[in-house]
Amino acid sequence: MKITDKTVVQFHYVLKNEAGEEIESSQGSEPLAYLHGANNTLAGLEKALTDKEAGDKFSVTLQPEEAYGDRQEDLIQRVPVKHLQGLPSKNAKWKVGMIGVVHTEQGQRQVTVLKAGKFMVTVDINPPLAGKVITFDIDVVDVRAATDEEIEHGHAHGAGGHHH
């Protein structure tokens, strides 16, 4: 069946940056599942997946506006060190370029450290891929009709239809 609104799609992906270097990949783990037409994935990716079928393999390159948006210079914030999470170990120190997690009203956000002081850290709360052109190599694993429950909840319920 073709990917249309109200279908649940499972796919593997390899995400690459403009230089063609791999940033992340789902190979070796569960494929990603999402409900098509519910804004559960990047706009450009959803557009590219429309009308594809299980077994299709393709690549799509997304401009920032179809992916993670443009970088916004005003998304630079100073946060207390204790509010920044994600250090690899207790004794590790924040360094420029490290990615941490802060909790905001909108939930967890990944942030990039720009300056690290003893008590305050300056972070960039743009998504790490904001302003970047990215390419997905997609391998469509499965397409099925969404259940009424999934449509009502607005998201896929895992490969076997159960919660993990």
Query: Tell me: the pLDDT tens digits for 70-91?
Result: 999 889 999 999 999 998 888 8
State the sign of the Cα–Cα–Cα–Cα dihedral 79, 82, 87, 93: positive
- 45 conformational bin, left if phi > 0, alpha if psi -120 to 50, beta if neither: alpha
- CATH assignment of 7-68+130-153? 3.10.50.40
| Residue extents of the structural domains in the chain | 7-68+130-153, 76-124
Q: Once rounded to an integer, what is the mean pLDDT over residues 110-123?
A: 93
- The domain at 76-124 falls in which architecture? Beta Barrel (2.40)
3-state helix, strand, coil in the chain (%, to 5): 10, 40, 50
| Residue 31 or residue 162, greater confidence | 31
Query: Tell me: the pLDDT tens digits for 8-47?
Result: 999 999 999 999 999 999 989 999 999 999 988 899 999 9
